[in-house]
Structure 1
Amino acid sequence: MRPTLPILAIALLLAAPAFAQQLPVEAQDGDPAVDVVEPGDDPDAVESAASGVPLEEIKRYVAVYNAIKEAYVEPVDDKALMGSAIRGLLLDLDPHSAYLDRDDAEAFDEDTNGAYDGIGVEVQQLPDGKVKVIAPIDDTPAARAGIKAGDTIIAVDGKTLTPASAEGQGPLRGEPGSTVKLTVVREGEPKPLQISVTRGTIKVASVRGRMLEPGYAYIRISAFQADTATDFESTLKRLQAGSGSGKLRGLVLDLRSNPGGLLTTAVQIADDLLDAGGIVSTRGRTPISDAKFSATPGDLMQGAPVAVLVDAGSASASEVLAGALHDNKRARVVGSRTFGKGSVQTLLPLDNGDSVKLTTARYYTPSGKSIQARGIEPDVVLQPEGKEAAAAHADYAEALLPGHLQGDEEVAGSNAGDVLEGDAPIAAALAELKKPAVSASASVERP
């Protein structure tokens, strides 16, 4: 099943350099770019026309560049200054587009393969250099030290984070066994927390599972990596074999605080649980950005009910999977509104080993709804209990990130969800599995 998905992923990667070459020559409607150059024209105008960039903008850039070179208080290396300029091109586009030097690009690849040296946390760098935690990865130093989704890291080892802090692999990466002290701002805490984390080699087992009770299984997916779909299938088969009858009566699929990962992996798992129907589509400005994924016959659960557990830390590929199962009425979604990262990033390699991570498309669920800045709204809404309830709602959502890409169905102020921890949400999802089948559009609030 799904023999074409790895081929598609490779095709997208191979097409990236050609795609990158197309980007600079595209002009928006109304751009005053010069399209036709007559012989004898100013050489600067010829170069401007070739790049599709207005000549006046080039002159303004050169003026600022020269001013820095001549008058800045300290000498600035040309390479460093140009690198800063390139990063600046991407900084104000949206929170997910970025320039990655060679080390960062390699680290990005390591993350998808599930092994790297660091603290084990998925983060989003903010424009001021501070770092927002999307989610700590299960059973990593960050999770064990108490780092939580929604935390903002403002300093590392006493040094305040700035946009320059992200250069190289960043301050959170480092040798296994070394200790890093994080200054963390957390909603509900009167002052920043000081949290020490000992770095390790992060080998993330992205799938684990167990039986909740006879006939009902639980599978936790912490991230979508290259081998996650294979691990999901083997874990599900193991649980089915251990049930006695070889079949399950229901499955709780836990995607809480799963920050996402590889789209193709999420598509494969959706396909494992669907017999037919759409999974996700992407739409962008160029043909290579448009794609549509559909399920093939072969539901590994053989129609048994599924409950998908989500919260505010469920982002990107997690939302794709939850949306696919929800829109096909294959599963009930239980928890709180998801993060709302509904944009696609394409890694465009450059000739010097660096890469550009560029937002190129938006995700749409099978019903045609955009995830961006809206997220997935659960069928059954859960709220935190006890002492953690006051701090769990941390205004934590894509829609609240500075400079975020506008969502098609964005509603200001109503997009933040709760971070749900502990076993109580699992028990609530299990209870949903035991209910008679109802419409996937029903919504119930539970304490």
Structure 2
Amino acid sequence: MMTRIRQASLVLVGVLAGVLLSLNFSAVAQREAARFPLPVDELRAFAEVFGAIKSSYVEPVEDKKLITEAISGMLTGLDPHSAYLDQDAFRELQVGTQGQFGGLGIEVGMEEGFVKVVSPIEDTPAFRAGLKPGDFIIKIDDTSVKGMTLNDAVKRMRGKPKTTIRLTILRKGEPKPFEVTLTRDIIRVQSVKSKLIEPGYGWVRVSQFQEHTGENLVKHVEGLYKNGPL
């Protein structure tokens, strides 16, 4: 008899624990919903547009493409530095952070629907071609970049060394766009540079973050200290 009571008690405790956990999770979910309420009207509008495209667009469009483009647009609309990376784009990012790839040697961003030159990397095809910060790349070969994502544009500009590519550049102060032809090369990005300005003062520049940037930074700082106290 006592065994049955003990078993029943254990079952009851288990049920109560499950109920309490369920109530706790429900309360947490409700608190999160209260903090970040879903924009129901906007989501309804999104669903209506999604349905209209699926039913009325001139050609079939995959669901994945529509959702991916919607997410991408949501992020690129925030600022020039936010972007959605799918699996392929993330792999491209990893290539860029390894410090070596085939391309033009140019740091770019996206602005007003065009690719904007942030900075050409020293001693690269882009640097030797005279590209400048603030230049807009409006065409890659014969394809307009308007409507491209930044990742798509970067993919087109990268490629096998010794292959050529034409960029159409819009530069402030120039009366009209002009073309430059570049030959891709192996780009080895030195992410950390340093020099001793004068005794006691050193200069260190980190141009981008790569796999070994941290350890390279330590080496450069140690190298400066070898010249004397800073």
- Report the TM range for the smaller structure's normalisation: 0.7 to 0.9
**Structure ID, larger Rg:** 2
- The match for 1:137 is 121
Amino acid at match of 1:144: R
Q: 1:126 aligns with which of 92, 111, 114?
A: 111
Counterparts of 1:192-207 in structure 2, within 5 Å, are: 192-207=177-192
Once the two structures are superposed, the pairs formed by residues 46-85 of structure 1 within 5 Å of their partners are 53-85=38-70
- 1:230 positional shift: 2.8
State the SS of the aligned residue for 2:55: helix
Alignment of 1:24-423 (within 5 A): 33=37, 53-128=38-113, 130-166=114-150, 168=152, 170-209=155-194, 221-238=206-223, 241=226, 246-247=227-228, 302=229, 304=230
Residue 314 (structure 1) aligns with: none
Structure 1 unaligned spans of 5+: 1-24, 34-52, 248-301, 305-447
Cα shift at 1:154 = 0.9
In structure 2, stretches of 5+ residues that fail to align are 1-30
Tell me the CA shift for residue 134 of structure 1.
1.2
1:164 is matched by which residue type in structure 2?
M
Q: CA contact under 8 A between 2:98 and 2:211: conserved in structure 1?
A: yes
CA-atom RMSD in angstroms: 2.9
Does the CA contact (< 8 Å) of 1:137 and 1:222 recur in 2? no
Q: 1:87 to 1:27 in 2, by over 3 A?
A: farther
TM-score (normalised: structure 2): 0.72
Q: Which has the higher helix share?
A: 2
Deviation at 1:68, TM superposition (A): 1.0
Deviation of 1:161 (Å)? 0.8
Shift of 1:227: 2.3
Query: 2 CA distance for matches of 1:240 and 1:95?
Result: 38
Task: Go from structure 1 to structure 2 and tell me whether the alpha carbon gap of 1:183 and 1:240 turns closer, same or farther (over 3 Å shift).
Answer: same
Please list, as runs of the form range in 1=range in 2, the aligned pairs for 1:418-429 lying within 5 A after superposition: none
Offset of 1:215 from its aligned partner? 7.9
Supply the distance in 1 between the matched residues of 2:202 and 2:54 (Cα, whole angstroms).
63
Q: Are 1:91 and 1:127, in contact at CA under 8 Å, matched by a contact in 2?
A: no
How far apart are residue 238 of structure 1 and its match?
4.0
Offset, 1:218: 5.8
Partner letter of residue 68 of structure 1? I
Aligned length: 199
Q: CA deviation at 1:158?
A: 2.4
> Offset of 1:156 from its aligned partner?
0.7
Structure 2 vs 1, CA of residues 87 and 215 (structure 1 numbering), >3 Å: closer, same or farther?
closer
Shift of 1:78: 2.1
User: Is the alpha carbon distance of 1:59 and 1:208 closer, same or farther for their aligned partners in structure 2, counting shifts above 3 Å?
Assistant: closer
Q: Are the structure 2 counterparts of residues 70 and 143 from structure 1 closer, same or farther at C-alpha, using a change threshold of 3 Å? A: same
Given that 1:107 and 1:116 are in contact with CA atoms closer than 8 Å, whether structure 2 keeps it comes out as no
1:75 alignment partner AA = P
In structure 2, C-alpha distance between the alignment counterparts of 1:230 and 1:115, rounded to whole Å: 17
Alpha-carbon separation, structure 1, partners of 2:157 and 2:172: 21
Cα distance between partner residues in 2 of 1:62 and 1:215: 63
Deviation at 1:118?
1.7
**Aligned CA distance change for structure 1 residues 27 and 119 (closer, same or farther; 3 Å):** farther
> Deviations 1:323-346 (Å, cap 9, x if unpaired)?
xxxxxxxxxxxxxxxxxxxxxxxx
Q: Percent identity, please.
A: 41
Q: CA deviation at 1:61?
A: 1.5
SS in structure 1 of the partner of residue 156 of structure 2: coil
Q: Residues of 2 paired with 1:28 and 1:89: CA distance?
A: 22
1:424 corresponds in structure 2 to none
